[in-house]
Amino acid sequence: GLEDAVEAVRRVPELSRKRCREVFDQRFTAARMAHDYVQVYERLINSKQQDRLEVRA
């Protein structure tokens, strides 16, 4: 909640800029982002196919 957010802001100076960058680089590589987009598209395609099956039933 709000109290947790305030406490998190107080701890910002303790964060390692180097570690933040390392984590960012791991999470947001082009390959990782492409993989995540493919998963989203597959879920959308599958949900549309499921919708069509339900309409036919």
Q: What is the arithmetic mean of pLDDT over 4-20?
A: 97
| Through-space distance between the first and last CA atoms of the chain, rounded to whole angstroms | 45
pLDDT digits over 26-41, tens only? 999 999 999 999 999 9
Phi/psi at 38 (nearest 5 deg)?
A: -60, -40
Residues in the chain: 57
Domain boundaries along the sequence of the chain: 2-56
27 phi and psi, to 5 degrees? -80, -25
DSSP string computed for 1-57: -HHHHHHHHHTGGGS-HHHHHHHHHHHT-HHHHHHHHHHHHHHHHHHHHHHHHHHH-
Residue 56 has pLDDT above 80, yes or no: no
